[in-house]
A and B are shown apart, each in its own frame.
Chain A
Amino acid sequence: MQSATATPNDEVLTSADGTPLQVALARATRKAKWRAFWLVAPLLLFIIITFAIPIAQMLYRSVHNTAFSENMPAVGEYLRNNDITDVPGEAAFAALVSDLITARENKTIGSVATRMNYEFPGARSQFTGSARKAKRLEPPFKEALIAIDKDWNSKHLWNVMKRASNPIGGSFYLAAVDMRYDENGNAVRVDAKKRIYVPLFVRTLWLSALISTLCFILAFPVAHLLATLPLRYSNLLMIFVLLPFWTSLLVRTTAWIALLQGQGVLNDVLVGVNILDDENRVQLMYNQAGTIIAMTHILLPFMILPLYSVMKSIPPTYVRAARSLGASSWTAFWKVYFPQTIPGIGAGVLLVFILSIGFYITPALVGGSSGQLISNEIARHMLQSLNWSLAAALGGILLFIIIVLYWLFDKLIGVDNMKLG
């Protein structure tokens, strides 16, 4: 940038304006750094607002729930200041009754009752029912409330209320891994029959692994063919890979419904050529098979493209050299060609695995009940059961899994080496 006009006598080289060259260089580098940074800054700000903050908010939501602490201030205050060793005395019950009355007047009793019901089954009707009668109650409130519902005399319930009086807590994460607090406040696993989420996470990971494997098995020969054929053929065949890649996800899912459902094309063909009886049509849709087939089809291009770009860079002379040195075609493939494709395999398998863990649309449409993944459960809690904190906690766990995989992907392949099309 600046021209150095150093005189032979000077020990320090300086630039035209007399600053030492080292300082001038550092200044110029810093300036260039800032210039590069300012180009990125608007986008960075945008992504932080529309992506990072919302996700941070979701994570905050998963440990922060004010439904109880905000709407039951008096009893909340009592619980924060006192330890619960047994069912508390009259003071706590008086505070509880006054809170129940105000919560009913403010119409917030419903959300309090729902919040309690997550951890103490039966609490919904207990809270709403007691709140309805609270206004007519006379002291001593403890006996009066217990007369309405004997669960008020439960130490477990008071422990639950004690935990809920603090808006920050990990109880939703505990629920998301099929655990709960028992009467003594210890974290224990729920009954084997009631475990939902851990099996669902296991199923999601297992199906994703299966789909990645299937994609790999199907992609490898195709990518190899595309990479070894002369360009004019392979460019033509590439359309077969790129057309699904560019086609809408919903279109492809619809296509599979038309093809695979009980009265669909495949079953009709099988019945038509007498392989199947009309009564014994195979159910390939609305179950796990539907999810696996449709997702394999949708994610296959994501495996073929990275494999293809790696295979394209392997010189064909290596295999020929191996052959001419006496290797059988299998040995030449296995010892010489295959090891060179491993970076492509790594990229493809990880990409497909990451994408399939978070799949929602396809399982929701073709998965029936046995083909649902963890995303579907998050959506159910968001849109139907409205247990947003639990949805956020499940999302937090899913996000953690994805971040670990993404970190692995970056370490092994590097995000800046990702190619499209």
Chain B
Amino acid sequence: MAKLPAYTTFGERVWHYTYLFICGCIFLFLVAPILLVIPLSFNAEPYFTFTKEMLSFDPAGYSLRWYDRILTHGMANPEIERGAAWWKDTWENGQWLHAAKNSAIIGISATLLATVLGTIAAMGLSRPEMPFRRVIMGLLISPMIVPLIITATGLFFFYSKTGLAHTYIGVIMAHATLGIPFVIITVTATMVGFDHSLSRAALNLGASPITVFREITLPLILPGVISGALFAFVTSFDEVVVVLFVAAFDQQTIPRQMWNGIREQISPTILAVATILVIFSILLLTTVELLRRRSERLRGISPA
């Protein structure tokens, strides 16, 4: 902590420590609920709170049964011996695995679509000669601002007319749309620091525009592209409303399954899934942070 200067009065000292205490409470408010989920998911009882056994650190109060539930939920015969047949059953019928597979398929495809289209467009948008830049930028960012319920309602009408309702392609296209603003924002932000004389030099030396993009531009803006892609992936991975409106059971994703779980049979399985997702977001956060630092290093903005 920074040392208080010598001229600080007593009242200011008291205020300073009160201020630090207030900030501490706000930080607690931010992370405590998320971290609390982790121990609760090891509850041996079907409760959403700490039991006496858990508080006295009695091993009997803890169990992995809700993690086991993630695998067995929806299985045809969860009781059979755990061998190849059991694993085959859970892989084919387990509802959470079904949702996880869908989340991966939809998330990755939507991210690819959003990243490719978004990066190309960001290259154009960051050129000074781009016509109607402000209007087009406003339109491309708007899926982030327009409430999901409106987008989902619109897509519901549109998809039921075009036959895209209840298809993977429909959900993927919708999720790509929602992820695009993030790609645009991060890539154009990276392009601000991009030195255009590098690509002009390469063009001058006879490289084709595609080579210039591959060899010069892309490696330099890659951190921005990847963090945009991660934002797009998280957006898709976390999205329920569109899935609720335009997808069928076949396209059920993890958040959709959690939504069911919270609305219908609320059980600590949800907490176990939540724990896994928290660990997942810690990994994502670390990746984005590392990328950000790398990007700053590449562009010569070193943190003090």
Q: Which residues of A contact B (CB under 8 A)?
A: 29, 32-33, 35-40, 42-44, 46-47, 50-58, 61, 218, 221-222, 225, 228-231, 233, 235, 237, 239-244, 246-259, 261, 263-265, 268, 297, 300-301, 329, 354, 357-361, 365, 375, 378-379, 382-383, 388, 391-392, 395, 398-399, 402, 406, 409-410, 415-416, 418-421
Contact = CB atoms under 8 A, between A and B. Distances in A.
Contacts of A256: 33
Contact of A54 (B121, B158, B258, B292): B158
Interface string B236-280: 011011001100000000010011001100100011001001100
A402 B145 contact: yes
B2 A228 contact: yes
B227 interface: yes
A42 B145 contact: no
Contacts of A32: 127, 129
A382 B26 contact: no
Interface of A is mostly: helix
A233 B1 contact: yes
Contacts of A248: 237-238, 255, 274, 277, 281
Interface in B127-151: 127, 129-131, 134, 136-143, 145-151
A40 B125 contact: yes
A329 B138 CA distance: 41
Interface of B: 1-2, 12, 15, 19-20, 22-23, 26-27, 29-34, 36-37, 40, 47-50, 117-118, 120-121, 123-125, 127, 129-131, 134, 136-143, 145-151, 153-159, 161, 173-174, 176-177, 180, 182, 185-186, 188-189, 227, 231, 234, 237-238, 240-241, 244-245, 255, 258-259, 262-263, 266, 270-271, 274, 277-278, 281-282, 284-285, 288-289, 292, 303-304
28 contacts: A39-B127, A43-B120, A54-B151, A54-B159, A228-B2, A231-B303, A239-B285, A240-B27, A240-B30, A244-B30, A244-B31, A247-B277, A248-B281, A250-B274, A254-B262, A259-B33, A261-B48, A265-B36, A265-B48, A297-B29, A358-B146, A358-B148, A358-B150, A379-B149, A382-B153, A388-B157, A398-B149, A421-B292
B220 to A, nearest CB: 17
A159 B174 CA distance: 41
Contact of A58 (B15, B154, B186, B292): B154
A36 B120 CA distance: 10
B137 A416 contact: yes
Contacts of B245: 382-383
Nearest to B132: A37
Contacts of A410: 134, 138
B121 A44 contact: yes
Contacts of B20: 225
B279 to A, nearest CB: 10
A230 B136 CA distance: 39
Nearest to A392: B153
A252 B33 contact: yes
B241 A50 contact: no
Given A40-B120, A55-B146, 20 more contacts: A46-B117, A47-B177, A50-B155, A53-B158, A54-B155, A54-B157, A55-B150, A57-B157, A58-B154, A243-B31, A243-B281, A246-B234, A246-B281, A250-B262, A250-B274, A254-B271, A257-B266, A265-B48, A398-B147, A415-B138
Contacts of A229: 1-2
A44 B240 CA distance: 25
Given A222-B23, A247-B281, A360-B148, A231 B304 contact: yes
B236 to A, nearest CB: 12
Contacts of A54: 151, 154-155, 157-159
A241 B30 contact: yes
B158 A57 contact: yes
Contacts of A265: 36, 40, 48-50
Given A248-B277, A261-B48, A39 B2 contact: no
A176 B186 CA distance: 38
A50 to B, nearest CB: 4
A61 B157 contact: yes
Nearest to B47: A263
**Most B C-beta atoms less than 10 A away, residue of A32, A35, A379, A420:** A420
**Which 4 pairs show the lowest CB-CB distances between chains A and B?**
A358-B147, A39-B124, A54-B154, A43-B121
Nearest to A31: B129
Given A54-B157, A258-B49, A410-B138, A237 B27 contact: yes
A39 B123 contact: yes
A37 B124 contact: yes
Contacts of A38: 124
A242 B289 contact: yes
A249 B256 CA distance: 12
Contacts of B241: 360-361, 379
Contacts of A415: 134, 137-138, 141
A319 to B, nearest CB: 11
Contacts of B176: 46, 50
A419 B303 CA distance: 18
B27 A222 contact: yes
A375 B148 CA distance: 9
